[in-house]
Structure 1
Amino acid sequence: MKSLCKRLLLSLVVFSAGCDVFNIGDAEGTRGRGARAFDPYSSSASGAIALSLLYYNGCAILPTGEPVSPGSLNLPDYPAACEAMNMMGQPVPPSARFEVTPGVNYFIREFTAVDAITGVHTDFNDHHAPSFWMRKQSRFKDLDWSGVTVGRDEWTNDYDSTFQRETYYENAAWMRSLDDTFLIEVLDADGAVRTSVTYSRRDFMGESATTGRTRASWMVADLARPRFPGDPEVSLLPDGTEPTYNTMVKASFSGATDPFKTLAMPQLTGEGLIRVTWSLLPLQPFVFPIVFTPEAERPATCYRLDETGLATDEQVPCGFGLTQAVRVNRPANGSFFMPGDSVDFMVSLRDGDGNGLHPRNRMPSYNEYMGESSNGLAYFNEQMLLTYREASSSESGFKVVGPLQDLQVSRGSYDLPYFSFPTFSEPHFYLPPGSNLLAGGGDAQPPTHYSVQLPPNAKSGTYAIILKGHRSYMGERLNRLDPFFFQVGQAQPTTYPGRVGNCQVCHNGVNSLSNVHHGMSVDHVEACKTCHIEEGYGYLPDVIHRIHNSSRKYNQNKGDCTMCHLTRESTLWPSLMSCNGCHVSSHGTEYFDLRFEPMQNTPNGYGNCAESCHVTTPPAEHILPPR
């Protein structure tokens, strides 16, 4: 279990919003931004609301992982008991309710279906048994598995010399398909179809395993490093922890690319159903029991804000959306903080209509989050990350970093050239992994006030409090990451190094970076490096290369580094981890041992290969920025 908790942050990305510091001509969001056109983050003013449809082992689930009850609907094929992820897979009668708002336009943010088993395929050297289960026994057995091969066999350093091995099954016909469709229907309680819309797979941007999307894999976790390439024996951890074995098939499609393809939720009350029929599984529709809750019937559980932006005691109904705010204490000199000062601040999470999602001085408890009583605010959920493999998940919290001009990708050390709190990859969670570790257990309510002390040698410049927030409400599921700035040592602002950019060339309109994955703006893309420090959390140079190299939507020359790199210097720090994002077998097993060295050891897989060989021979097959 210790190792499981260390893997909780397998794929974090710090994304945020703000002004265009790169100013490279093609402004982010030139097509389709703004509530009058289409913006899923404009709450009730939006052209449509982002709808997430999640399915696990035969049951609809909420983003909390809780299985959805069919209520009084007559659904003969819907299980009477569902595997509850948050209870370690124990079958329980489903009790959660999936509410939607009638009369509202929705668009499909994501459709994800998972079939997974644990502790079944325990032969470390048998690649056939997991494949047989996928092709012949899983809920996806009727997909076209022709052409499937054993693909990547990856070892990942979770943290502190704990490893996992994941074997991917790739190239099946259904994985390579582009012309399949998804018929989304809304039915009333009598089973009559009241409205529908059809999406093509081409309408979705994200389906890569690197981002936690479509995959068929067999994973063995809680391992020590292998002794040599192809080691056939299981290497146990020093404390004797038994390995865990997980096999899964996940079909996941996210990020609708057509801003005008929406679904008008019918004007109904009571119970109903959303049915998804995938053209590749026409006889096995996925059903999502829903409850139509009119806006006028929403309870008053949010909080009206006063003229200063603070929550009052007056409660009002919640709206859609998620916005974040920070109030920072005034520096002693009235202008900027000094090294060694404590930066005191208060966070405020709100819906898109400007209502507080929590009281002024406290946030909802973990039990309230799991019980759908948190106004949609989401906390860290280890089962959604470990079992459901949901990469964007719900890691709500904050990180304080700076100065901006010194932000830099880690090159094999936690000794970063900038201040970071927390020091390592993960943010400071409002509630820690598990239920929570605060006094009071699952009923503890985390504070809204925090204090971070600057080091006595803090460098001068602009610092950022980066808030990472998640909310699921009335079918809408949002991820937001926003920076809020303060000055240290000087009043004059500083900005990012400006080494990477151009994301807005592809990420614009509905698929601008502020609308996908963690919810960051292209203007602050260089803040990603402050969380993606090491492999277990998605080492940034590796993850970014792999996402785009494996994407069928990214049609640019993948050897053209100038597409994203604005400076030549930023391309000339090759490492095993950086290059393996595209060149999986670069150098073969020549540097096998370095690949398994801990983060803080030097040399390791994160090190700068330019220091040894590549400083005089930059890759000739790549197009680099000019000197």
Structure 2
Amino acid sequence: MAASAFTRTRSCTMGGLGAPRALLASLAGLMLACGGQDAPDAASLDTQAPDTVSLETSSLETRSLDTRSAEKTLLDADPQSLLGGWPWPGNKTPAVALALEVKNGVGQPLRVREGSTFFINQIDIRTFVTSTKDEGLRNLIAQSDFGGLGWWGVRQVDQESIGAPGPYTRRRFFRNAAWMDLPSHFIVEPVDSRGRLTGVPILLNAGTEHQRRAGMDDFFIRRFRGIQTASGCATPDDCSASTQFEEEAILELRNAYEHAQRQTLTLRSDTRTLRLRWSLRPAAPYEIPVEQVRDARYTYGFRIGVEALTPPRPDGTYAPGTEISFQLTLRDGAGNRLHDKGYLPPYNEVAPDGTESGLQYYRAFFDATTTYYRRKHRERMLMTQIIGPAQNIQPIRSIVALEAFLDPEVDEQVVATPERDGVFSQFATLPFANVLFGGAFIDPNLWNQPNTDTWQFKLPDNAAPGTYLVTVKGRRVYLGEDLPGSTTIEIQVGTPQRTQPKHTTGPCTSCHSKGGELGVVLHANDNRAACAGCHAPLAFELEGPIFVRTHFIHSRSNRFDAPLQQCSSCHLTKESIQRTSKAACLSCHKSYPDSHVAQFGPIESMYVGGGAESFQQCTGACHTRHPGSGL
């Protein structure tokens, strides 16, 4: 698509009032402007690698009668009748963050509240095929609806296996295909039962793989990749006997920038479908059925309340050794409860698709998630933690064993102790881990029992005085809106004097802004001190710690603006980069010298380098500074 045409349309879309009929004409042309390369023959994939992939254009003469009819309807309509969702001055209705999903070329049905105004905050597109042989992504390229996008240059960049002591599941991650790197955009068209436009389409720029431009890109998160999953492998690397392979392509766009949030839709009563056009496959738009709910019981929005039921001492503090009961309350934006007081429904009534109220539980049993690479936002864990005192908060490196999650006598897991970790922390999943994981691996009937919205954290007898943080985080998915939420409260232990964390990294706002703030993305919590408790390394998810995830995500993201070796982009002191371990180094680096392999073993995990030993401190005689760190 010509750059000038794109620029003109964005200017009109962003500029507000302009000339509506000119805008409609421009959008109508853009719906037809870009085409994609035919798929390469799967057998010759490895030999075809042109330096550039051109885009074919689709002429007006070859477009379908249906498309021409839609264009004529758009151009002939009264512009004012189509601009119900346009952000005219005086339109004060807050727009709802809408999530769109497509699976194997089929738009997933969308139920929304009638009369609401929306912006597109999330687009998830997934296509997959299965195979009985290990053929990389060849079947996906030959058979799926992504086959014609242009796969030249695709290569495996990472690999990870889970499932010790076996059998293992191995995932291979692929990037650099032409379609993943090319700039592309989406157009969302509200249409009636006959395919006629019922409102102004929204144009969304997906940007490119190698640049993040807050003023041009419309989404803070952009992740396009291919994944091959092999099940039933004998070892982490040997899947030769496996006959279960899944090949998939995934497109994730999330967290619309502020300027994109101003592009809104208000659906007319006759809107039946959202037609999602992608510039890399314009001849085959996705059709997302829409049902508008008139008398919805709940409103949009998500609030999490948490309170201590155990009263403090007269001076407002808790004594070390005290067991404190807490209770959560999940509400919609108008304050309506999403569950009865004292009660959370059985797991089987919630997972995998949630409740009428939008309540969500952990669902990775049904839809596997992988940090950075695969749909982590869809994990939807409801969870709580305590950590403190604030002045001692630091990353937790002690590993939580799987047995701790399965013990029927233990509802809340201690993940850090002052003696071992320099800080105290305890967490609990809701429902409790012995129900979540016990129901999955031991007794399925646990998933049918009612659950509670209360829990207890017991302070250690030697709890240091100061401020302790109690956090609850979760996710609500309700009538098209997919929102994270979290709340952190403070309690005082041993002293009424408030203490504060000592951050050695920041400021994250250098990049996380204008719709990508920490208070919006991830768990929607900008209190970074509250992260470490939930983010301890788990025996089945060693990459839990924040320093591991931050290193891994930013080192893999081509949209991170700073040089990776420049630690000073995030670290504030030279001391903060001097604690070395496999996990610290290999969460960012993909290799290390042969001498290190001989001494410390080969790299076995793309996240932390190895196993439990990955969190042990390396000798202080090595790695006291990082070349190019700026510190």
Structure 1 residues 420-569: aligned runs within 5 Å = 420-422=425-427, 428=432, 432-433=436-437, 442-521=447-526, 523-524=527-528, 527-528=531-532, 530-533=534-537, 535-569=541-575
Q: Which has the larger radius of gyration?
A: 2
Q: Which amino acid aligns with 1:400?
A: I
Q: Which amino acid aligns with 2:629?
A: H
Q: State the identity %.
A: 25
The yes-or-no answer on 1:52 pairing with 2:109 is no
Structure 1 residues 88-99: aligned runs within 5 Å = 98-99=110-111
Q: Which amino acid aligns with 1:392?
A: H
Which residue, 387, 396, 414 being the options, matches 2:382?
Answer: 396
In the TM superposition, residue 380 of structure 1 has moved relative to its aligned partner by: 1.0
Q: In structure 2, what is the equivalent of residue 126 of structure 1?
A: none
Q: Which amino acid aligns with 1:320?
A: Y
Q: Which amino acid aligns with 1:298?
A: A
Contact 2:113–2:296 at 8 Å: present in 1 too? no
- Distance, in Å, in 1 between the alignment partners of 2:339 and 2:188 is 34
Name which structure has the greater RCO, CA cutoff 8 Å, separation 6+: 1
- Distance, in Å, in 2 between the alignment partners of 1:510 and 1:108 is 13
Q: In structure 2, what is the equivalent of residue 27 of structure 1?
A: none
Contact 2:347–2:431 at 8 Å: present in 1 too? no
Q: In structure 2, what is the equivalent of residue 198 of structure 1?
A: 203
Distance 1:576 1:163, change over 3 A: farther
SS in structure 2 at match of 1:510: coil
- Distance, in Å, in 1 between the alignment partners of 2:376 and 2:93 is 26
SS in structure 2 at match of 1:445: coil
Q: In structure 2, what is the equivalent of residue 134 of structure 1?
A: 140
Which residue, 227, 237, 252 being the options, matches 1:217?
Answer: 227
In the TM superposition, residue 234 of structure 1 has moved relative to its aligned partner by: 4.5
Structure 1: gaps of 5 or more residues: 1-43, 62-67, 69-97, 124-128, 237-241, 300-317
Contact 1:396–1:430 at 8 Å: present in 2 too? no
Q: In structure 2, what is the equivalent of residue 106 of structure 1?
A: 118
The yes-or-no answer on 1:177 pairing with 2:208 is no
In the TM superposition, residue 397 of structure 1 has moved relative to its aligned partner by: 2.1
Q: Which amino acid aligns with 2:422?
A: P
The structure with the largest helix share of the pair is 2
Contact 2:186–2:278 at 8 Å: present in 1 too? yes
Structure 1 residues 218-617: aligned runs within 5 Å = 218-221=228-231, 233-234=238-239, 245-257=245-257, 258-268=259-269, 272-294=272-294, 297-299=295-297, 318-328=298-308, 329-370=310-351, 373-386=355-368, 389-393=374-378, 394-411=380-397, 413=399, 415-422=420-427, 428=432, 432-433=436-437, 442-521=447-526, 523-524=527-528, 527-528=531-532, 530-533=534-537, 535-587=541-593, 589-590=597-598, 593=601, 595-596=603-604, 604-615=613-624
Q: In structure 2, what is the equivalent of residue 166 of structure 1?
A: 171
Contact 1:101–1:474 at 8 Å: present in 2 too? yes
Distance 1:153 1:243, change over 3 A: farther
- Distance, in Å, in 2 between the alignment partners of 1:501 and 1:109 is 26
Q: Which amino acid aligns with 1:247?
A: E
Distance 1:432 1:259, change over 3 A: same
Distance 1:443 1:59, change over 3 A: farther
- Distance, in Å, in 2 between the alignment partners of 1:140 and 1:499 is 44
- Distance, in Å, in 2 between the alignment partners of 1:55 and 1:291 is 16
- Distance, in Å, in 1 between the alignment partners of 2:376 and 2:469 is 24
SS in structure 2 at match of 1:282: coil
In the TM superposition, residue 186 of structure 1 has moved relative to its aligned partner by: 1.2
Q: Which amino acid aligns with 2:153?
A: G
- Distance, in Å, in 2 between the alignment partners of 1:59 and 1:139 is 10
Provide TM-score, normalisation by structure 1: 0.71
In the TM superposition, residue 155 of structure 1 has moved relative to its aligned partner by: 3.1
- Distance, in Å, in 1 between the alignment partners of 2:142 and 2:562 is 38
In the TM superposition, residue 584 of structure 1 has moved relative to its aligned partner by: 0.8
- Distance, in Å, in 2 between the alignment partners of 1:342 and 1:396 is 22
Q: Which amino acid aligns with 1:390?
A: R
In the TM superposition, residue 198 of structure 1 has moved relative to its aligned partner by: 0.9
Contact 1:376–1:473 at 8 Å: present in 2 too? yes
SS in structure 2 at match of 1:252: strand
1:425-461 Cα distance to aligned partner (Å, 9 max, x none): 9995696258789997555432122222222222222
- Distance, in Å, in 1 between the alignment partners of 2:385 and 2:492 is 16
Contact 2:466–2:493 at 8 Å: present in 1 too? yes
Distance 1:266 1:541, change over 3 A: same
- Distance, in Å, in 2 between the alignment partners of 1:622 and 1:156 is 31
- Distance, in Å, in 1 between the alignment partners of 2:293 and 2:276 is 21
Q: How many residues align?
A: 499
SS in structure 2 at match of 1:432: helix
The yes-or-no answer on 1:621 pairing with 2:621 is no
Q: Which amino acid aligns with 1:331?
A: P
- Distance, in Å, in 1 between the alignment partners of 2:316 and 2:564 is 46
Contact 1:220–1:244 at 8 Å: present in 2 too? yes
Contact 1:576–1:605 at 8 Å: present in 2 too? yes
Structure 2: gaps of 5 or more residues: 1-90, 208-216, 401-419
SS in structure 2 at match of 1:288: strand
- Distance, in Å, in 1 between the alignment partners of 2:366 and 2:252 is 14
- Distance, in Å, in 2 between the alignment partners of 1:575 and 1:427 is 34
In the TM superposition, residue 207 of structure 1 has moved relative to its aligned partner by: 4.8
Distance 1:244 1:433, change over 3 A: farther
SS in structure 1 at match of 2:180: helix
Contact 1:121–1:130 at 8 Å: present in 2 too? no
Contact 2:396–2:532 at 8 Å: present in 1 too? no
Q: Which amino acid aligns with 1:622?
A: S
Question: Which stretch of the first structure deviates more once superposed, 469-478 or 439-448?
Answer: 439-448
Contact 2:306–2:487 at 8 Å: present in 1 too? no
Provide TM-score, normalisation by structure 2: 0.71
In the TM superposition, residue 182 of structure 1 has moved relative to its aligned partner by: 0.4
Distance 1:410 1:590, change over 3 A: farther
Distance 1:256 1:430, change over 3 A: farther
SS in structure 2 at match of 1:611: coil
Contact 2:467–2:492 at 8 Å: present in 1 too? yes
